[in-house]
Amino acid sequence: MDFVNFLIQLLNSVQYGLLLFMLAAGLTLIFGIMGVVNLAHGSFYMLGAYLAWSLAALTGSFTLAIIFGTLLSVLFGLFLEWLLFRHFYKRDHLDQVLLTFGLIYVFEEMRSILWGDDVHGVTIPEVLSASIPLTETLSYPVYRLFMSGVCLALALGLYLLISKTRLGMKIRAGAFNHEMTEALGVNIKLIHALVFALGVGLATIAGMVAAPVSSVYPNMGSPVLIMCFVVVVIGGIGSVKGALIAALLVGLVDTFGKVLLPQVSGMLVYVLMAIVLLYKPEGLFKN
Amino acid sequence: MTNSPSRRLVLTRSAALVGAAGSGLLLPEWAQAQSGKIRVGLMLPYSGAFAPLGVAIENGVRMAINEQGGKLGGREIEWFKVDDESEPSKGIENANKLVQRDKVDVLIGTVHSGVQMGIQKVARDSGVLTLIPNAGVHAATRALCAPNVFRTSFSNSQPTLALGQAMVAKGHKKAVWITWKYAAGDEAYEGFKESYTKAGGTIVKELGLPFPNVEFQALLTEIAALKPDAVACFFAGPSGAKFMKDFAAAGLKGKIALYGSGFLTEGVLGAAGPAADGVMTTLHYSDSLDTPRNKGFRLEYAKAFKMQPDVYAVQGYDTGLLLVQGANAVKGDLTKKPELYKAMEGAVIDSPRGKWTMSKSHNPVQDIYLRVAEKGENKVIGVAAKALADPGTGCRMG
């Protein structure tokens, strides 16, 4: 591998890592604040992709689709929280796993009824459809850089929200000591509802932004869910910062593994996870 | 001392036998078979990602049998269905539900190669007539072949066995192969390697990624650095669409020709959009095959099921045709196994894909078409290989 190729592969790693972060951020957030293990996280990703596809067809604009899709998914998140999840915060993790595992089937069936079982494509908006030539044969699609930009913006936004705002302070306080925060006059129920909706929103935005690249198809959330859990476990369950570092690590290992050690590339990410857990059983960053 | 209890056992059992015979419980098998319906078991994916394939196959089977008045060799049919969920760990259990619980006379299944291995074991142990309407796993008609197992679809290396010659003919003599590292990908590579090197091509590099990973970017970068004349691949389903889109977005389209086993472009041309235009593939069928037989079939299927047929529907239809020919030859008495198998081995299937016959190892000997993706259609350019058979290596019927 010459130096130019090495740099391009590095770019590939960072780009993949950022995408993984966007997927895993919502999962780790919901677990970190409310202690809910959400297996249906992948379904929200799928929901996002289908929303992008159907709304883009309806409105004729990908940008409008993302705006409406985000609004709809946040409302959907609030509704789900009110209907189901708020009754499970204090329950056992097993109950939560059963609930969210069941939800995967419910969402798949709803998807089948609403949108059918076909594979669909979403067109990349005109402004982002160009490619930048990197070498004689290889170009880099602008849309991939745009995706990385969105991921970075979300990461920065999340950081500012949680560590620099009043709402963020209440969220952290609630995660630290639920009863005390409530006693001090913070409406913790509202905070939980907002955080849950935020988590759902993050997953659906990831699905919407990824839709033009990944295509839209049934069950597309399940492979994603596994990678999300790997990232969350390596990063330390509940830590957003950990998820970012872990996602970038996984991106590096996966990309260079495929090129340098193709025979075992499927295993490398899990080996990374095993090594991290061996030395840091609670992940890189404990919440 | 050991003699007397066993003798008593023999006596009591004989008495029971006499009683049973008297009450009609032990009618000779043929009489029972002739009087009842033929029990047909469908073991297909009805849930999960392969569910549409299961539905298409069942539609095809039913259509072929309905064209015969809904009977097999003059006998009525009783249907049994099991959703195999494309779950290999339940393959044996699900096949046994049909064979042992429902006592089917014929088992039709399935799509997923891993599940097929479970069915293969049950088929070999029980001897039940088994028809494979899709799964291309080599072992089913090679090392683990059986007289009672017939495949009506393809073997995993069949489409790619026709690919090499077509690529070299277009002047593409240096190629990179890319696929998922799993059984079907490896078997497709076997076909490609044999045909491409035989035709005088050189495989520059073999790339792979773990199934079902779809992060292709790292390998596309590798391909760009290698600068081959062409890329040949095996991908299927939505991931195929993603591969073609990523290939185009990386700027490789137009500089490096893209070829593949035909499953790359089946059912996903709409999703792939213009990225698929010009991609060349080899397969035993194409929706746009311009023959009266295919056009008639497509029209009837669309009328009956209110949806367009695909290659899986055709494979299901051919499964039905083969079963009809076999059953007619023995007038519906599926217990006459030697005659039944002989009729099926000698069958000529007048399929929408073109006429095909059975190989010695019970896999179709069929034409493989060269197709180019154009405006959402797999346009047939010509026949890439005529009457192509799977080698059936290691198959010993017995």
DSSP secondary structure string, B14-80? Answer: HHHHHHHHHTTTT--HHHHHHHS-EEEEEEE--SSTTHHHHHHHHHHHHHHHHTTTT-BTTB-EEEE
Cα separation, B214 vs B209, in Å, equals 8
Which chain A residue has its CA at the smallest distance from B209's CA? Answer: A258
Mean pLDDT of A17-27: 91
Name the residue among B51, B208, B227 with its Cβ closest to that of A117. B51
The answer to whether the Cβ–Cβ distance between A5 and B221 falls below 8 Å is: yes
Tens digit of pLDDT for each residue in B181-206?
Answer: 888 999 999 999 999 999 999 999 99
Q: Are A168 and A162 in contact (CB under 8 A)?
A: yes
The answer to whether the Cβ–Cβ distance between B49 and A254 falls below 8 Å is: no
CA angle B242, B245, B248 (to 5 degrees): 150
Q: What is the pLDDT of residue A131?
A: 87
Nearest Cα neighbor of B358 from B120, B38, B132 is: B132
Q: Which tokens hold the place of B182?
A: 């799993």
The answer to whether the Cβ–Cβ distance between A8 and B221 falls below 8 Å is: yes
Tens digit of pLDDT for each residue in B71-101?
Answer: 999 999 999 999 999 899 999 999 999 999 9
Higher pLDDT, B363 or A266: B363
H or E, element range at B345: helix B337-345
Predicted confidence band of residue B22 (pLDDT cuts 50, 70, 90): very low
- A54: pLDDT strictly greater than 70: yes
Establish if B204 touches chain A: CB-CB under 8 angstroms.
no
Establish if B267 touches chain A: CB-CB under 8 angstroms.
yes
Q: Where do the domains of chain B lie, and which CATH numbers do they carry?
A: 36-154+289-362 (3.40.50.2300), 158-283 (3.40.50.2300)
What count of CB pairs under 8 Å joins A to B?
Answer: 123
* Average confidence score pLDDT of chain B: 90
Tens digit of pLDDT for each residue in B113-128?
Answer: 999 999 999 999 999 9
B227 contact residues in A (CB cutoff 8 A): 136-137
3-state helix, strand, coil in chain A (%, to 5): 80, 5, 20
Cα separation, B212 vs B214, in Å, equals 6
Instruction: Give B55→chain A minimum CA distance, Å.
Output: 11
Cα separation, B251 vs A124, in Å, equals 15
Q: What is the pLDDT of residue A103?
A: 95
- For an interface test with B, give the residue of A138, A230, A250 to mutate (most B CBs within 10 A): A138
Please tell me the least confidently modeled range out of A1-10, B140-149, B253-262.
Answer: A1-10
Q: What is the pLDDT of residue B198?
A: 96
Q: What is the pLDDT of residue A287?
A: 58
- B14: pLDDT strictly greater than 70: no
Q: Are B287 and B378 in contact (CB under 8 A)?
A: yes
- B336: pLDDT strictly greater than 90: yes
Instruction: Give B272→chain A minimum CA distance, Å.
Output: 6
Mean pLDDT of A252-276: 91
- The interaxial angle of helices A265-279 and A240-260, nearest 10 deg, is 140
Q: What is the pTM of this model?
A: 0.84
Instruction: Give A62→chain B minimum CA distance, Å.
Output: 16
Which chain B residue has its CA at the smallest distance from A13's CA? Answer: B218
- ipTM here: 0.82
B54 contact residues in A (CB cutoff 8 A): none
Q: What is the pLDDT of residue B35?
A: 55
Any bridge partners for residue B174, and if so which? B202
Q: Are A47 and B259 in contact (CB under 8 A)?
A: no
Residues of A with CB under 8 A from a CB of B: 1-2, 5, 8-9, 12-13, 15-16, 117-121, 123, 131, 133, 135-141, 143-144, 213-220, 223, 254-256, 258-259, 262-263, 265-267
Nearest Cα neighbor of A108 from A209, A40, A57 is: A40
Tens digit of pLDDT for each residue in A93-113?
Answer: 999 999 999 999 999 999 989
- B9: pLDDT strictly greater than 80: no
In B, residues 104-163, which contact A (CB 8 Å cutoff)?
none
- What secondary structure, in 3-state letters, does B187-220 show? HHHHHHHHHHHHCCCEEEEEEEEECCCCCCHHHH
Q: Which tokens hold the place of A260?
A: 């340098």
Nearest Cα neighbor of B263 from B191, B359, B360, B347 is: B191
Cα separation, B226 vs B220, in Å, equals 10
Q: Which tokens hold the place of A113?
A: 């009824």
Name the residue among A12, A119, A223 with its Cβ closest to that of B221. A12
A263 DSSP 8-state letter? G
Tens digit of pLDDT for each residue in A177-234?
Answer: 888 888 998 898 999 999 999 999 999 999 999 999 888 988 889 888 999 999 999 9
Rounded to 10 degrees, the C-alpha dihedral A262/A267/A271/A277 comes to 150
Give alpha helix (H) positions in B90-249.
91-96, 113-126, 158-161, 163-169, 183-198, 217-226, 238-249
The answer to whether the Cβ–Cβ distance between B224 and A135 falls below 8 Å is: yes
The answer to whether the Cβ–Cβ distance between B218 and A259 falls below 8 Å is: yes
